Amino acid sequence: MDNADYLNQISGGKLNKKVNPKTGKAKPQLPFGLGLNHKTFIIFGAIIVVVAGLIAMSLVSQQATMQLKGLAYSIGARTTNLNGIVEKYHALIKNSNLKALSSDLKTVLTNFNRDYPATLGSIQGAASGTASAISTEEAVRASLDSSFASANMNAILDRSFAVEMSYQVEYVALRIQELKGQTSRAELSSSYNEFMTLKNRFDNWLSTH
């Protein structure tokens, strides 16, 4: 009788060790009766995979939400800033047709900014924006203001205004289209069409002046 058999005997069989039939040796045991066997490793592995997958999905979801809110903020900030720029330089435009186009742009921007919060709905938290997005939009506003002030001093405001606004309204339209693709907000379709119509009108004016 070996030591293990002796200890098992005097303990009344309480050790009750499991023996590997191939080797005749006792299998290693975990505390609380959990055996180190193939099934145990599979279960633990599956749990680890599931937990890691849930964490990864959560991180991806958070990143997508931040990107969506950043896009929504940029659109609102850009249209708000454009509206302020148009109001500031509208009276300085010389050409009557371009001035009429500027008035239409101002109307579209005003209406869009009025309705945009309701359109965003649950994305309204985007109003805060990131430091980078805020800095970018402020830089665009300052650049437009400086460019138009200089153009006005050099008597070329009309053309400068038309060129820049053609680009800006197209930029807004494309961002709106991107937002619509991510949110399925049907009302954004009409906004996209309005801004693209303005872009075509600015281009038409530029082609004849």
Give the model confidence (pLDDT) of 187-196 as tens digits.
Answer: 899 999 999 9
pLDDT in tens, 137-170: 999 999 999 999 999 999 999 999 999 999 999 9
Distance, in Å, from the CA atom of 107 to the CA atom of 123, rounded to the nearest integer, reads 24
What's the mean per-residue pLDDT of the chain?
79
Residue-level pLDDT at 117: 83
> Tell me: the pLDDT tens digits for 100-111?
999 999 999 999
**Across the strands, what pairs with 26?**
19
Q: Give the residue-averaged pLDDT of 88-93.
A: 97
Distance, CA of 173 to chain centre:
17
- 101 half-sphere exposure, CB direction, 13 A CA radius: 25
- Kindly tell me the sign of the dihedral angle through the C-alpha atoms of 167, 143, 119, 105: negative
pTM for the predicted model, two decimal places: 0.69
Distance from C-alpha of 144 to C-alpha of 36, rounded to nearest angstrom: 70
Domain-wise residue ranges, the chain:
68-207
Q: Are 188 and 119 in contact (CB under 8 A)?
A: yes
Burial (CB < 10 A; 0-12, 13-18, 19+), residue 75, is buried
